[in-house]
Amino acid sequence: MHETMTQAALAARRKVFRALHEQGCFVIPNPWDVGSARYLERLGFPALATTSAGFAFSQGLPDSGSSEDAGLTRERNLAYIASITAAVDLPVSADFMSGYGVEPDDVARSVAQCVATGVAGLSIEDSTGDPASPLFDLSVAVERVLAARQAIDRTGHDVLLTARAECYHVGHHDPFRESVRRLQAYAAAGADVLFAPGPQDPEEIKALVEAVAPKPLNLLVVRDIGLSVRAIAALGVRRISVGGALALAAWTGFKRAAELLQRDGSFTGLANLVPYAEINGLFATERAVQRRALPQESRWWAVEESVAEEWGRSESVDPDDVGDIADEGAGHRG
């Protein structure tokens, strides 16, 4: 029997998520599947964010950035996002890559479908996926953020929009200055949260915080940078995400154990494992037998008709019944 999330429950999550950004600092870890999401919820984190990298790796795919060519299609990502929102009672923010569209109208259409997964927030990047021209021109990037903002507003749901400047990631010659220029423009276009993944120097982080104030800054930490959560909070950062780092931590243990077994015939990589009974018991006592669903009117694959009418498109977004997959909490096709 499905435990159905009501619109009131979704609204409550979104209200909590907005409040988290109004003061203090919080960590928003990134689960790559339902199991990791439920464990992070049990640990007491106040919100979760999806990870395109962690999910892609779990599917045997590369982290494809802004391109669908490598396999992480919009529909596949939407099903994964929906599986996470349905698995936990926490606000979830979606790593929505570059919005699955070049033109602002395409971004808006994709964003409307992402909102319908039940997210409390979503992020849009300004990377193109083209090594020769890795960032959208600022004017185009601003139009895309504005289109995302308007698409969210049209839904009537209080979903936070995070705008990402990918200057550090693409190797821009002056990533700090260009990030400031872009983040300020995105804030003016309606972004609620600003995010420039890459900086690690405390002074640079603090300067970014001040550049986008009073709006909150998200800091990505994917390795030990010598700063604790308390130290990062003291710089004025409101939100800390870890991207694919937790997935990589899991891959690190798996890779070591598998390589020792194949190369040396050694089982030492299986020493000091978390007991089977502990993990099995975790999922047995959590909602392992409960399968939850979004309200029918809010499911992302059910909004295509209204979205198509809004943007003049007509195509099926659920050709392989990924809606059923999301209901089951699997989060992907095939």
CATH number at residue 313: 3.20.20.60
Q: Which domain holds residue 167?
A: 2-245+293-328
Residue 260 in any domain: the answer is: no
pTM, 2 dp: 0.87
Task: Establish if 176 belongs to a structural domain.
Answer: yes
pLDDT of residue 217: 98
* Residue 237 within a domain: yes
- Within a domain: residue 269? no
Is 23 part of any domain? Answer: yes
Q: How many domains does the chain have?
A: 1
Q: Which helix (H) or strand (E) holds 124?
A: strand 121-125
Tokens 């969210």 correspond to: 152
Strand partners, 2: 291
Render each residue's pLDDT in the chain as its tens digit; 334 residues. 234 578 899 999 999 999 999 999 999 999 999 999 999 999 999 999 999 999 999 999 998 755 455 568 999 999 999 999 999 999 999 999 999 999 999 999 999 999 999 999 999 999 999 999 999 999 999 999 999 999 999 999 999 999 999 999 999 999 999 999 999 999 999 999 999 999 999 999 999 999 999 999 999 999 999 999 999 999 999 999 999 999 999 999 999 999 999 999 999 999 999 999 999 998 987 654 455 566 655 566 665 555 555 555 434 444 344 333 333 333 332 3
pLDDT at res. 285: 77
Question: Within a domain: residue 275?
Answer: no
Instruction: Identify whether 276 is part of a domain.
Output: no
Length of the chain, please? 334
- Say if CB 58 and CB 251 are below 8 A apart: no
pLDDT the model gives residue 134: 96
> CB of 120 within 8 A of CB of 93?
yes
Please name the residues in contact with 321: beta carbons below 8 A apart, sequence gap of 6 or more: none
The pLDDT assigned to 119 comes to 98
- Provide the residue type at 130 as one letter: D
- For residue 261, being part of any structural domain is answered with no
User: In the chain, what is the greatest distance between 2 CA atoms, to the nearest angstrom?
Assistant: 60
Burial status of residue 249 (CB atoms within 10 A of its CB: 0-12, 13-18, 19 or more): exposed
Contact residues for 174 (Cβ-Cβ < 8 A; gap 6+) = none
d(CA 301, CA 281): 34
What DSSP character marks residue 25? -
